[in-house]
């Protein structure tokens, strides 16, 4: 009887985690890991640091080369290979080797889709110019780093003010370039920060020499030799520049699954059950392509975070490999907790923003405080906190923290509270650390929780 064959499509974080877990679950299985790019198993989150020159070599970002992963986990790793189609009923996929053009039809007992997301570049910013970059895959980081090593200074326009946009600002300013950030409506990290909290970051970046403009890129001026001349904006402006980073969002790579008839949600993420099985009987999904059920609202949408990729990869890998033996692994509901560091400023958010909670139909309120990271008699930095809670239930819904020191790790504390279903009163009753050089007697979260208690009591 032939060994159980498991095919995994996508090989960065979730796909490699799935392959490793599948091997642990089924030592005798045949595992094939396929990726369209040349690299597998690398740290995408550290690419901005590499772009800025703080990491000497791209090899430092790579956890496993294809050869090392293949040897370690006894997996057939196929890079530069594109999956053309999935045949759900017959359990086959069609693949093409992009180096040779050879095509092949492979059967599977179990298929795992870890196809991730792609950079979304609007048509207005698409061009053949080598001076327009994205920052999604390791090849993108290499190309941008090479440009910055060749040209030690210049003016870059970053179009888009989400995570990738801020990461781009960090990498470009760290390389000595002058940067203009186009933030439509003046909003940064729109899904994670409310408008008032976003303004703290705008002011900080402006004070550090980054020009933040409340405009949207609608076109490019490119010279006949392919050089970028300017970015055109919806305000009728032309911003002269030497480089453009298109950071205008991502989209789940779910077209392959959609073409095979698998169910996809309104946001483009693959719909799965708690075992990460898709609507195809022998097909699982993991990583950024999945629409995860969010804990606070119960709604499913992509939550593209590294920890979700690793966790979901292990769940999908185990379930695909177990062959119906034993209990299936399950993926818990997720909390959207994320952070970014830009120009020495920490930005963390978790759960729902006030805007997001109101859109979800919750009766939410929020409070803002300005506190400090440590005792007033010790070196300390300002810390801005917004806490969001729900009237009636007094449930804690989310937090946003911004500061030079102490914002990111305090965000983890709120995430733990959210996962436990804590109330605002629970947040106030937390036993916060006090040690003068690290935290004040009244921690910023303690102060914010008390203010939110008062706000909820006043609104009864």
Identify the CATH number of the domain in which residue 389 sits: 3.50.50.60
Which residue positions in the chain have pLDDT lower than 50?
1
Residue 327 included in any domain: no
The pLDDT, as a whole number, for residue 45 is 87
The pLDDT, as a whole number, for residue 189 is 96
Residue 333 included in any domain: no
Structurally, the chain folds into a number of domains equal to 3
Query: Do 301 and 211 share a structural domain?
Result: no
Query: Do 97 and 35 share a structural domain?
Result: yes
Residue 99 included in any domain: yes
Query: Do 191 and 100 share a structural domain?
Result: no
Query: Do 136 and 92 share a structural domain?
Result: no
The pLDDT, as a whole number, for residue 325 is 85
Residue-wise pLDDT for 310-351, tens only, equals: 999 999 999 999 988 889 999 999 999 999 999 999 999 999
Query: Do 244 and 302 share a structural domain?
Result: no
List the domain range (segments joined by +) for residue 168: 121-248
- HEC secondary structure over the chain: CCCCEEEEECCCCHHHHHHHHHHHHCCCCEEEEECCCCCCCECHHHHHHHHCCCCCCHHHHECCCHHHHHHHHCCEEECCEEEEEEECCCCEEEEEECCCCCEEEEECCEEEECCCEEECCCHHHCCCCCCEECCCCHHHHHHHHHHHHHCCCCEEEEECCCHHHHHHHHHHHHCCCEEEEECHHHCCCCCCCCHHHHHHHHHHHHHCCCEEECCCEEEEEECCCCCEEEEEECCCCEEECCEEEECCCEEECCHHHHHCCCCECCCCCECCCCCCECCCCCEEECHHHEEEEECCCCCEEECCCHHHHHHHHHHHHHHHHCCCCCCCCCCCCECCEEEEEECCEEEEEEECCHHHHHHCCCCEEEEEEEEECCCCCCCCCEEEEEEEEECCCCEEEEEEEEECCCHHHHHHHHHHHHHCCCEHHHHHHCCCCCECCCECCCCHHHHHHHHHHHHHHHCC
Query: Do 404 and 350 share a structural domain?
Result: yes
Residue 328 included in any domain: no
The pLDDT, as a whole number, for residue 63 is 94
Residue 338 included in any domain: no
Q: Domain ends where: 208, 232, 248?
A: 248
Query: Do 219 and 128 share a structural domain?
Result: yes
């Amino acid at each position: 009887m032939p060994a159980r064959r498991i095919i995994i499509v996508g090989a960065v974080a979730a796909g490699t985690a799935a392959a490793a877990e599948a091997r642990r679950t089924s030592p005798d299985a045949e595992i094939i890991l396929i990726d369209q790019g040349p690299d597998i198993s690398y740290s995408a989150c550290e690419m901005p640091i590499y772009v800025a020159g703080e990491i000497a070599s791209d090899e430092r970002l790579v956890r496993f080369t294809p050869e090392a992963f293949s040897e370690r986990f006894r997996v057939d790793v196929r890079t530069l290979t594109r999956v053309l189609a999935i045949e759900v009923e017959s359990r086959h996929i069609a693949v093409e080797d992009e180096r040779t053009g050879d095509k092949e039809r492979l059967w599977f007992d179990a298929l795992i889709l870890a196809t991730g997301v792609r950079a979304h570049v609007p048509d207005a910013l698409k061009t053949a110019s080598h001076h327009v970059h994205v920052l999604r895959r390791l090849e993108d980081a290499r190309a941008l780093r090479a440009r910055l090593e060749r040209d030690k200074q210049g003016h870059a326009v970053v179009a888009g003010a989400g995570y990738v946009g801020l990461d781009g600002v960090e990498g470009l300013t760290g390389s000595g370039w002058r940067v203009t950030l186009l933030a439509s409506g003046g909003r940064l990290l729109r899904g994670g920060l409310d408008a008032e909290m976003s303004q703290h970051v705008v002011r900080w970046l402006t004070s550090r020499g980054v020009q933040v403009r409340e405009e949207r890129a609608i076109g490019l001026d490119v010279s006949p030799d392919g050089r970028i001349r300017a970015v055109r904006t919806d305000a009728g402006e032309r911003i002269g520049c030497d480089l453009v980073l298109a950071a205008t969002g991502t989209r789940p790579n779910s077209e392959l699954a959609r073409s095979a008839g698998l169910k996809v949600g309104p946001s483009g993420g693959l719909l799965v059950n708690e075992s990460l099985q898709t609507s195809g009987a022998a097909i699982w999904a993991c990583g950024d392509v999945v629409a995860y059920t969010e804990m606070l609202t119960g709604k499913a949408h992509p939550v593209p975070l590294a920890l979700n990729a690793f966790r979901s990869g292990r769940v999908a890998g185990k379930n695909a490999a177990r062959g119906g033996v034993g209990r299936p692994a399950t993926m818990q509901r997720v909390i959207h907790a994320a952070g970014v560091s830009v120009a020495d400023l920490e930005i963390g958010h978790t759960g729902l923003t006030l805007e997001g909670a109101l859109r979800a139909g919750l009766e939410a309120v929020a409070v803002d405080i300005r506190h400090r990271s440590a005792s007033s008699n010790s070196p300390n930095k300002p810390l801005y906190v917004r806490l969001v809670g729900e009237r009636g239930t007094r449930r804690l819904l989310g937090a946003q923290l911004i500061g030079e020191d102490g914002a990111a790790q305090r965000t983890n504390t709120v995430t733990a509270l959210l996962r436990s279903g804590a109330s605002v009163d629970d947040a106030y009753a937390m036993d916060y650390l006090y040690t003068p050089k690290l935290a004040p007697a009244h921690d910023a979260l303690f102060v914010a929780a008390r203010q939110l208690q008062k706000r909820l009591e006043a609104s009864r």
